[in-house]
Amino acid sequence: MGYGDAVDGGTLTRAHAAELDRADPLGGFRDRFEHGDGDRIYVDGNSLGRLSHDARAALQATVDEWGSRLVTGWHDWVDLAERTGDALGAAALGAGAGQALACDSTTVNLYKLAGAALAARDGAIVVPADDFPTDRYVLEGLAAAHGRELRLLEGDPVAPLGRDAVAAAAEGAALVVLSHVNYRSGTLADMAAITPAVQAAGALVLWDLCHSAGAVDVNLDAAGADLAVGCTYKYLNAGPGAPAFLYVAERHQAALRSPIQGWFSQADQFAMGPRYEPVAGVGRFLAGTPPVLGLAAVIAGAEMLAEARIGAVRAKAAALTTLVVDLHDQRLEALGFSLGTPRAAADRGAHVSLRHPDAWRICRALIEHANVIPDFRRPDSIRFGLPPLYTRYVDVWDAVDRLASLVEDGVHERMPAEAARVT
């Protein structure tokens, strides 16, 4: 039974949500995660995913291996970044083997790939003006270092990126950097349509997959993508500070060279030679020692996603976010809320932005007085992130119900107006 089968056009009730949970083909995955306080509703998995039992077991097994094998473990760990990248490619990225690595942070990987692209091509850098701050900051620094123009692509963050507008901005550019899912609004870009349009304009396109990998279909190879980066601590549940990933299409690997020349990308690594010669293939974008413990959790997340299958995950993400949209219309709009996310499920990822002039105080009140954990993004957005593997439909209904009741009672008006450092 799908979402539409449980809704008869009348008032949405908790019973509708409970019926959807009973029919949910992914429902069994929830029990494989830690939940802590049974009354707490967690709708911030787009910032940090829950701890899975699989990840805990993988981490413990790796700790035990470290304890017993010590340095001899490197015979098996030395190529862990490549093996983990291949696992992510198959489960989450739509990428064939030999094109992805799990390594470093998203910021460092963005710097490496963008720097390599600029070293290989002349022209400007294009990025949306509302893109995630790290992306804009890294590109601003690279533009200054390389003497390039930085073009900020203006637009409505709730509206999907227009292929023609992006292609026009890409004329005379070396590199266009785009988020697959907008971090604030949850808007999903049409990768398959935008990628060839940018390439036809003469630029490489680098996709930021932080808010899409593990939640929506990502088909890098099928879209003809050039480059991509992303994180694993959101929908892949690999833990805070978990290693990120990068993707370089096979056709570009020989021509691009990382600006960070580390010994893990050296062709004859243990020769300890006097000169740097990068290894052939995607491994040339490695730098330092792989974080073995962190990669164990990434593999656990990739394996769980492969078991669930991304198509089923995407379908549930669409249904969960649709329920939020419908409940917004039913309960929240009359309380001064508006949607900061597209209404069409095909145009959004796995989170919904609920806008309100007093969003910061409402968000704090939700956490401190209603035991609901979302997050806040300036200036006025409360984000509900809904990872399909452990979020129930009744969680969505209860979270919106608590939110509406809290605002109706004015509980948020007692909260301090000044935002904290971590929002």
* Residue pointed to by tokens 């052939």: 280
Residues 6 or more apart whose CB falls under 8 angstroms from that of 220 comprise 89, 93, 94, 95, 99, 207, 228, 247, 249
Interior angle at CA 377, CA 375 and CA 381, nearest 5? 85
Query: Of these residues, 3, 29, 33, 233, which one is catalytic?
Result: 233
* CA pair distance 403, 42, nearest whole angstrom: 13
Annotation marks residue 22 as catalytic = no
Annotation marks residue 132 as catalytic = yes
For the chain, the distance separating the N- and C-terminal CA atoms, rounded to the nearest angstrom, is 37
Phi/psi-derived region of residue 97, left when phi > 0, alpha when psi is between -120 and 50, beta in every other case: beta
Cα–Cα distances (Å) from 14 to 21, 35, 319, 396, 398, in that order, read: 11, 21, 15, 9, 8
Phi/psi-derived region of residue 325, left when phi > 0, alpha when psi is between -120 and 50, beta in every other case: alpha
Query: Of these residues, 132, 235, 247, 393, which one is catalytic?
Result: 132
Q: Say how many C-beta atoms besides its own lie within 10 A of residue 312's C-beta.
A: 15
Q: Say how many C-beta atoms besides its own lie within 10 A of residue 315's C-beta.
A: 18
DSSP for residue 344: S
HEC assignment per residue over 61-124: HHHHHHHHHHHHHHHHHCCHHHHHHHHHHHHHHCCCCCCEEECCCHHHHHHHHHHHHHHHCCCE
Q: Where are the alpha helices (DSSP H) in 147-219?
A: 163-169, 191-200
* CA pair distance 423, 420, nearest whole angstrom: 6
Query: Of these residues, 24, 54, 130, 208, which one is catalytic?
Result: 208
Annotation marks residue 383 as catalytic = yes
Query: Of these residues, 50, 184, 234, 314, which one is catalytic?
Result: 234
Residues 6 or more apart whose CB falls under 8 angstroms from that of 102 comprise 80, 81, 84, 85, 88, 232, 243, 244, 245, 290, 295, 298
* CA pair distance 230, 109, nearest whole angstrom: 8
* CA pair distance 298, 320, nearest whole angstrom: 25
* CA pair distance 177, 203, nearest whole angstrom: 10
Q: Which three-class secondary structure state does DSSP give residue 308?
A: helix
* CA pair distance 44, 37, nearest whole angstrom: 15
Annotation marks residue 208 as catalytic = yes
Query: Of these residues, 364, 377, 383, 392, which one is catalytic?
Result: 383
**Residues labelled as active-site residues:** 132, 208, 233-234, 383
